[in-house]
Amino acid sequence: MTNTNSTVVSAVGFHRAFCTNTYYRSFKENIHTEVGSEKVNVTLIARRCTRRIGTRMWRRGADPEGYAANFVESEQIMQSKEFTASYVQVRGSMPFLWEQIVDLTYKPSFDVVRVDEAPRVLERHFHDLQKKYGAVVAVDLVNTHGGEGRLYERYAKSIEPILSEDIRFVHFDFHHICGHIHFERLSQLYDQIEDYLKKHRYFLLNSKGERMEEQTGTVRTNCVDCLDRTNVTQNMIGRKLLESQLRQIGVLGDNNEISDYPEFDANYKVLWANHGDAISTQYSGTPALKGDFVRYGKRTTQGILNDLWNALARYYLNNFADGTKQDAMDLLQGHHVSSVSRDMPTQSKGLLENYASFRLALVLLLAAVIFMVISLRRGTISVC
């Protein structure tokens, strides 16, 4: 059962940076369940940074001060047996200057801006993270080929000078390893960061309010949008940390997992799926892709069809709605800059390319509608 109005512990996390006007709460939801004879309350809170707000494709990378687009702090709070535990992890766009110029193509090319400044901007970003959270392991989920591959290479090269015991970089090619259905292979990523998670622990208070554990580091996860692949990965990390907390206070046995308790498992999946959908809707205008795996623990036909529909909806929003929305956000923050480049005539070659891309998008949209009609008809037949 999900209850969004329950009273939860406030300011449990180990740093209070998010209590300033730098962050605002963009999601809060909690679940109540029982594990054996013990009651367990789990709350998930997402706080979005206000320093580089914007919409997908129109606000990418970091600004010169090191503030990253779509930067969100997610805190998972557990209460049981008069213990209170917390774990904080973050997501955000790759922290150097890069962009995508919307041009009607389905996936506009990535451009790294002012390449020579990338190491400086990235260093400022991670220095800020260290002040707030301590140690940081940066988990990069993008592809190693194509445009994403170029971003990965720039990220890896720029972060290399500041790598240390307190700053680690782990690249995990999500699409190559997990494909579209084998998300259980994320266990390979967990094996790479397990030692880090155990070393830097989590926040834990006993019934007397005494601090038993302290979180001394965080995980920073990114893909390109920091939505779909990122939410699946953060869900895995949150689950592993929650199991460790429940084992320490004696709610779970040494060999038990959340999946051993079906009701708890189902509610926990829905909690993280709703979290991903909320963040995705704010940034892209649609729920998260791959949400069926987070919500049900497996990929489904309906989930794949939903992903196709949401991907097409994102294409429309990117090209025909988000630009105006971005201008409004920039205007309200005092960052709006008039540009004549948007009104300049496009070369004929660009027009032909854009027309071809638009036709491709239209074909994909029609295909999505046909698939949805077939799916609905099959569902109607089975009910009858």
For 104-163, how does the pLDDT look when each residue is reduced to its tens digit (9 = 90+)?
888 899 999 999 999 999 999 999 999 999 999 999 999 999 999 999 999 999 999 999
Average pLDDT over residues 280-297: 89
Quick: pLDDT tens for 215-243.
Answer: 999 999 999 999 999 999 999 999 999 99
pLDDT band per the 50, 70, 90 thresholds, residue 294: confident
C-alpha 115/C-alpha 132 separation (Å) is: 27
Give the rounded percent of residues in the chain with a pLDDT score beyond 90.
68
Determine the 3-state secondary structure of 167 from DSSP. Answer: strand
- Closest alpha carbon to 239 in 172, 289, 184: 184
Q: What's the confidence (pLDDT) of residue 138?
A: 98
Give Cα separations from 3 to 28, 30, 249 (angstroms): 10, 6, 24
pLDDT band per the 50, 70, 90 thresholds, residue 178: very high
DSSP class of residue 379?
H
Average pLDDT over residues 280-285: 94
Q: What's the confidence (pLDDT) of residue 256?
A: 94
pLDDT band per the 50, 70, 90 thresholds, residue 33: very high
pLDDT band per the 50, 70, 90 thresholds, residue 360: low
Q: What's the confidence (pLDDT) of residue 57?
A: 93
Q: What's the confidence (pLDDT) of residue 251?
A: 97
C-alpha 191/C-alpha 194 separation (Å) is: 5
C-alpha 102/C-alpha 99 separation (Å) is: 10
Average pLDDT over residues 309-325: 91
